[in-house]
Structure 1
Amino acid sequence: MILRSVNHENVVRFYRACTKQRKYLIVTEYMAGGNLYDFLHKHNNALELSLILRIAIGISKGMDYLHQNNIIHRDLKSANLLIGNGQIVKIADFGVSRQRSQEGDMTAETGTYRWMAPEVINHKPYDHKADVFSFAIVLWELVTSKVPYENLTPLQAALSVRQGLRLVIPSGVHPRLSKLIQRCWGENPHTRPVFSEITAELEDILRPIQVASRSKGSHRHIKQKIQMKSQR
């Protein structure tokens, strides 16, 4: 029902559901690139900063749209992010999602341990900021191409988060990106940024990189023209 109600370029598109057979089926658009988890970890893809930022911006925009529509995903992780043509990334799997307007506080331990916010692990009341924590783990995956807490079992990872431990951000990561990850996985949900702020920050980091890339491309084009002239 949630998937049917949403429409955004960074959320997987719902087409039909089949409910007459024993096994219920959902038909969505085809995402040729598979999921982000496999793309990063099974194919050992190390991504350039510009691509990391473009993927992160797409996820952030999709999550911002969901939160603006009072939808909390509750299981945001790289395996639930699908890659389409042109490396566009879309949010999928709304099996445990919930409308914020539903009655009662959310305290259920819902999601996947390696991406789960501490307030969820601790069975405390939580809200949309739990998704922001999960996004921080995805962002860490993008900059490292590593599985979160790869040397720990899922339960050990959850216990580490509960104790306040966080993943190590490599020193070579863009300082503003590193700072954003730390803000997003902060212990206090109220100090975590909302997705509109995250998108703005990511776009601001990307802007000079795109300018530099275009400038490099134009210099290369001029150089080729000069070489062609000299050959004449």
Structure 2
Amino acid sequence: MHPLDEIAINKLDPLMHRIIHDIASALYILETKQIIHRDVKPANMLINKNAVVKLCDFGICGDLTEKLDFRTVEGTFEYLPPDPEPDAIHDDMWALGISSLEIVSGQHPFTDWIPNEIPFKILNWEPTVPMTVSYEIQQLILHL
């Protein structure tokens, strides 16, 4: 990952737009096939030299057409929403928002939090997006 101070806002904005668009499109395609990814995070996003972003690591995807045991929530703990819905795209979109915040700030938004306190602290958390991106991209990320 490049240091954010080396990336001008006029380059970070189009990159973030592309990342959000491409990953959201991938999640939409999965949803139309009754599949949820369940592990959206920066480490599972690949970007090629043409800035095309691909979602990878489908190892814990859920097939919504099968009877699955949804009593346990799958995914990387730091990207799970405060109110997991293991059979909905809601969790994947939350993880895309957290991933976007991590990319624009250079660190995960909960880096300074004690891991077992995250589920409780997140309920009152007010996300803020750094000024490294435009107002439009800030609002897009907050909408996720």
Q: Same-fold call, TM > 0.5? A: yes
CA contact (8 A) 2:36 2:64 kept: yes
2:44 maps to 1:80: yes
Which residue is 2:71 aligned to? 107
How far residue 101 of structure 1 moved from its aligned partner, in angstroms, is: 1.0
3-state secondary structure, aligned to 1:103: coil
Q: For residues 129 and 71 of structure 2, what CA distance do their matches in structure 1 show?
A: 29
CA contact (8 A) 2:80 2:94 kept: yes
The 1:86–1:153 alpha-carbon spacing in structure 2 relative to 1, beyond 3 Å, is farther
| Residue ranges of structure 1 left out of the alignment (5+ in a row) | 1-38, 185-232
2:57 maps to 1:93: yes
Q: Which has the higher contact order (CA 8 A, sep 6+)?
A: 2
Letter in 2 for 1:83: I
2:108 maps to 1:147: yes
Q: For residues 116 and 166 of structure 1, what CA distance do their matches in structure 2 show?
A: 16
Which residue is 1:156 aligned to? 117
Which residue is 1:68 aligned to? 32
Same amino acid, percent of matched pairs:
26
Which residue is 1:177 aligned to? 137
CA contact (8 A) 1:119 1:125 kept: no
**TM-score, length of structure 2 as denominator length:** 0.80
3-state secondary structure, aligned to 1:140: helix
Letter in 2 for 1:157: I
4+ residue segments displaced more than 6 Å: none
**TM-score, length of structure 1 as denominator length:** 0.52
Larger Rg: 1
Give deviations 1:165-209, integer Å, cap 9, x for gaps: 14322356433333333332xxxxxxxxxxxxxxxxxxxxxxxxx
Q: Across the two proteins, how many residue pairs are aligned to each other? A: 139
The 1:109–1:63 alpha-carbon spacing in structure 2 relative to 1, beyond 3 Å, is same
In proportion to residue count, which structure has more helix? 1
Give me the CA root mean square deviation: 2.3
Q: For residues 134 and 27 of structure 2, what CA distance do their matches in structure 1 show?
A: 23
How far residue 91 of structure 1 moved from its aligned partner, in angstroms, is: 0.6
How far residue 118 of structure 1 moved from its aligned partner, in angstroms, is: 1.5
How far residue 78 of structure 1 moved from its aligned partner, in angstroms, is: 0.5
Which residue is 2:125 aligned to? 165
